[in-house]
Amino acid sequence: MPERTAAMARNAASNGHSRRRSGVERLRRELPVAAMSATGALAMRLRELTGRDIIDLESLQEIVSVGYRASELRSMHTSGEYHVDEFGFDPEFANAVLPIFRLLYKKYWRVHTTGIEVVPRTGGALLVSNHAGVLPYDGAMIEVAVFDHVERYARALIATWFGALPMLSWFLRRTGQTLGHPDDSVRLLRRGELVLVFPEGVRGTGKPFSERYRLRRFGRGGFVQVALRSGVPIIPISVVGSEEIYPMLGDITPVARLAGMPYFPVTPTWPWLGPLGLIPLPSKWRIRFHDMVHTEDLGPDAADDPAVVMRISDQVRDTIQTGIISELAERRSIFFG
């Protein structure tokens, strides 16, 4: 009899725990929707009282969607219902965090994008862009533009240094980025992916503000060799605005070496303001996608011809530099253009 009573008590406790857990899960699912509904009603009331929008419902919806998708993602991971490719890319995770970067794209940097129609909706292509800004936000903004306009993921190649940072490297892999190894690039392109590369590398993100918008060397044309071996076109991209988010006034080389970093930037806000100095400035961005540079008909053997490789590399670099100059002329000011 005591054993039966104990078993009944255990069952009751288990059922109570299950009900509480079910209630918590239901609350987690319903809370974002309830919060959005209540805030929407508040926004409408404030509009009636003031005659203008006090609360940006579009931005609010984006923020709430992050929490909602994060909750769904957590449930999927708990049940093991998720897919990660060989490079660590999790599309569901990328979709969950995308609204954060979309807000930066639309509201903070107010990115004006042109020429995006050249990006193919199917098949591989190598996207090649200038690189600047201390931290690689330019890659994120290009990826948002590509996803929102052609509904495709652009897989950016990242420097080895970023891949060595524990939390950041995990985040980058989960959102589709991968280390810039030529073999991996060719594999992605041959299976029809869009790959984003920055030939300037850390030399671009770490250049001083006095040299802004002057392209660094594109190396020996490794990106051209990748395109030729993969049989895909190259799409040059010019980005204006990223140079001003962290105006780099100097580089404390001894500190960079001690920390194993490619550079230790000094900006008007960093390191003087501590963590607040990491907030990027709200410059006005312009991104231009240029016409394709076709390499498909040249064949993979052309990758071993230095003359062909450097000719295409110089063509792509000149196109990007010309586009930067043109976009700077179109932008009326750094912050309000």
Tens of pLDDT, residue by residue over 106-125, are: 999 999 999 999 999 999 99
Q: Is residue 209 a part of any domain in this protein? A: yes
Tally of CB atoms within 10 A around 263: 21
DSSP state of 116: G
Shared domain check, 134 and 63: no
Shared domain check, 112 and 57: no
Lowest mean pLDDT among 24-28, 159-163, 188-192, 231-235: 24-28
Q: Is residue 129 a part of any domain in this protein? A: yes
Shared domain check, 186 and 53: no
**249, 280 Cβ separation under 8 angstroms:** no
Lowest mean pLDDT among 50-54, 77-81, 154-158, 285-289: 50-54
Mean pLDDT of 163-189: 87
Shared domain check, 22 and 135: no
Shared domain check, 111 and 78: no
Band of pLDDT at residue 134, cut at 50, 70 and 90: confident
Q: What pTM does this model have?
A: 0.82
Using a pLDDT cut of 90, give the percent of the chain over it. 52
Mean pLDDT of 29-43: 60
In 3-state terms, what secondary structure has residue 288? strand
Shared domain check, 177 and 134: yes
Using a pLDDT cut of 70, give the percent of the chain over it. 77
Shared domain check, 131 and 203: yes
Q: pLDDT, tens digit, for every residue of 135-161?
A: 889 999 999 999 999 999 999 998 877
Boundary-marking domain end, from 82, 116, 132: 82
Q: Which residues contact 146 (CB under 8 A, 6 or more apart)?
A: 116, 119, 127, 152, 153, 154, 194
pLDDT at residue number 9: 46
Shared domain check, 168 and 21: no
Question: At residue 224, does pLDDT exceed 90?
Answer: yes
**Separation CA 214–CA 324 (nearest Å):** 9
Could you give the number of structural domains in the chain?
Answer: 2
What rounded mean pLDDT belongs to the chain?
84
Q: Is residue 273 a part of any domain in this protein? A: no
Q: Which domain holds residue 65?
A: 17-82
Shared domain check, 223 and 189: yes
Shared domain check, 162 and 31: no
Residue 328, class by beta-carbon neighbours within 10 Å (0-12 exposed, 13-18 middle, 19+ buried)?
Answer: middle
Q: Is residue 335 a part of any domain in this protein? A: no
pLDDT at residue number 219: 82
Lowest mean pLDDT among 16-20, 60-64, 69-73, 208-212: 16-20
Residue 22, class by beta-carbon neighbours within 10 Å (0-12 exposed, 13-18 middle, 19+ buried)?
Answer: exposed
Band of pLDDT at residue 217, cut at 50, 70 and 90: confident
Mean pLDDT of 46-54: 62
Q: Is residue 201 a part of any domain in this protein? A: yes
**Separation CA 318–CA 39 (nearest Å):** 49
132: domain CATH number? 3.40.1130.10
Question: At residue 36, does pLDDT exceed 70?
Answer: no
In 3-state terms, what secondary structure has residue 133? coil
**Separation CA 188–CA 124 (nearest Å):** 8
Q: Is residue 93 a part of any domain in this protein? A: no
